[in-house]
Amino acid sequence: MWPDRRLLDLIKTEFPIVQAPMAGVMDTDLVIAAAQGGALGSLPCAMLSVEKAREQVNIIRQRVSAPLNMNFFCHEAVEADPLREAGWKQRLGGYHDEFGLDPATPVKAANRSPFDAAMCELVEELKPEIVSFHFGLPESSLLERVKAAGCIVISSATIVREAIWLEENGADAIIAQGAEAGGHRGMFLTENVDEQPGTFALVPQVVDAVKVPVIAAGGIADGRGIAAAFALGAAGVQIGSAYLRCPESRVIAPARVALAQARDDSTVITNVMTGRPARGVANRVMREVGPISQHAPAFPHAATGLAPLKAAAEKLGRVDFTNLWAGQAVRLGREMPAAELTRALAGAALARLSRMAG
């Protein structure tokens, strides 16, 4: 029924659909529901401690016996630069005045740590069937341990060069993340956001360049998008934004409103929220300070300066400083339980694929 079964044979799910890991806006409930619907459930671990990640995996394992994907960031950690941080605080000074906040109040550092030895030990202990990485792959000694634990390794490429690098360095499947995608660009061999290809251009070129199965990501939110991804040679899809409005996500109420109102032209790529380029629905700080600012501290330190403003605005029901990560097809997302949505996506894709075959 699916024109390419290579991903299904690799990850052993019912459908070739990966529910995208989305750090900060989801936890166990979305993983469980997506897995119950037949997708690969992905637990984002980039903002979790080892203990929290273990706790969440245990909850998922108790509720569902499907394969599980644990997702990690593997950026190069950069120390916060006090000068840059101070300049950033100054840039945000007007907002502090507006919310009656003292910019001198110490703030907890933003918590997005790269995959390290401690997380690697956890992976060895829990043995998730799949481990996916964003921003490349971890150093080879850690990667070897992940593979020795029996995990299938997946990572995102945003250009063909990255896809070839990932295959050469051990990825078992590659997510081709087009520029339409919500959240952080997975880019790691390039810094040029303007050159990032869209999904339609990227997927067939990655398919031509590598032998491992390719998972299309970015702007895929219904059966048409899934069928198109297969037509381009993908063996599966990774879908994020379409799951954001599911009741099982942890998107806060005012952000749900912003996502529900978003249109095809509501998102931009910005670096002001975290210091790394990411696509989201434009909010006030993105519009007024960015969307790209040369003053933004390196990832993830830009988020540290924004944290008190985010908290103060959210208390008032505003998302002026909240990451509204979402892709260009966010409007196609539906407010329905994630298991039901997964089955609807797969059913619609199969119907369209069989019409196309006929």
Ligand X SMILES: Cc1cc2nc3c(=O)[nH]c(=O)nc-3n(C[C@H](O)[C@H](O)[C@H](O)COP(=O)(O)O)c2cc1C
Q: Is 217 in the site for ligand X (CB under 6 A)?
A: yes
> Among all residues, whose Cβ is closest to ligand X?
240
Distances (CA, A) of 154 to 69, 133, 171, 212: 9, 6, 5, 10
- State in angstroms the smallest separation of the CB of 301 from ligand X: 17
CA nearest to 324, candidates 146, 133, 173, 182: 182
In this complex, which beta carbon is closest to ligand X, that of residue 40 or of residue 46? 46
DSSP state for residue 309 in the 8-state scheme: H
- State in angstroms the smallest separation of the CB of 329 from ligand X: 5
In this complex, which beta carbon is closest to ligand X, that of residue 22 or of residue 159? 22
Which window, 17-25, 60-68, 91-99, 296-304, contacts ligand X (CB under 6 A)? Answer: 17-25
Strand-pair partners of 268: 280
Site of tokens 């300049």:
87
Q: Which of 114, 213, 219, 308 binds ligand X (CB under 6 A)?
A: 219
In this complex, which beta carbon is closest to ligand X, that of residue 218 or of residue 290? 218
Task: Enumerate residues 175-214 that contact ligand X by CB under 6 A.
Answer: 177, 180-183
DSSP E strands, 96-226: 130-134, 152-157, 173-177, 183-184, 214-217
Q: Which of 7, 11, 21, 120 binds ligand X (CB under 6 A)?
A: 21
Measured in degrees and rounded to the nearest 5, phi and psi for residue 3 equal -65, -20
Query: 325: which 2 tokens?
Result: 């990560």
- State in angstroms the smallest separation of the CB of 195 from ligand X: 18
- State in angstroms the smallest separation of the CB of 1 from ligand X: 23
In this complex, which beta carbon is closest to ligand X, that of residue 96 or of residue 178? 178
Instruction: Kindly tell me the sign of the dihedral angle through the C-alpha atoms of 125, 126, 127, 132.
Output: negative
> What is the distance between the alpha carbons of residues 76 and 112, in angstroms, rounded to a whole number?
11
In this complex, which beta carbon is closest to ligand X, that of residue 220 or of residue 289? 220
The bridge status of strand 267-270 relative to strand 278-281 is: antiparallel
- State in angstroms the smallest separation of the CB of 135 from ligand X: 8
In this complex, which beta carbon is closest to ligand X, that of residue 18 or of residue 92? 18
Helix (H, G, I), strand (E, B) or coil at 33: helix
Q: Which of 19, 37, 75, 134 binds ligand X (CB under 6 A)?
A: 134
Task: Enumerate residues 22-51 that contact ligand X by CB under 6 A.
Answer: 22-23, 25, 44, 46
Q: Count CB-CB contacts under 10 A for residue 219.
A: 26
Which window, 87-95, 218-226, 256-264, 268-276, contacts ligand X (CB under 6 A)? Answer: 218-226
The bridge status of strand 173-177 relative to strand 17-19 is: unpaired
- State in angstroms the smallest separation of the CB of 185 from ligand X: 9
DSSP E strands, the chain: 17-19, 41-44, 68-73, 130-134, 152-157, 173-177, 183-184, 214-217, 236-239, 267-270, 278-281
In this complex, which beta carbon is closest to ligand X, that of residue 20 or of residue 143? 20
Q: Which of 136, 218, 277, 290 binds ligand X (CB under 6 A)?
A: 218
Kindly provide the b/e burial profile for residues 118-150, where b requires at least 16 CB atoms within 10 angstroms of the residue's own CB. ebbebbeebebbbbbbbbbbbeeebbebbeebe
Q: Count CB-CB contacts under 10 A for residue 156.
A: 29
Q: Which of 7, 39, 70, 239 binds ligand X (CB under 6 A)?
A: 239
Applying CB under 6 A, what is the total number of residues that bind ligand X? 26
In this complex, which beta carbon is closest to ligand X, that of residue 244 or of residue 339? 244
- State in angstroms the smallest separation of the CB of 106 from ligand X: 27
Q: Which residues bind ligand X (CB under 6 A)?
A: 20-23, 25, 44, 46, 71, 134, 177, 180-183, 217-220, 238-241, 325-327, 329
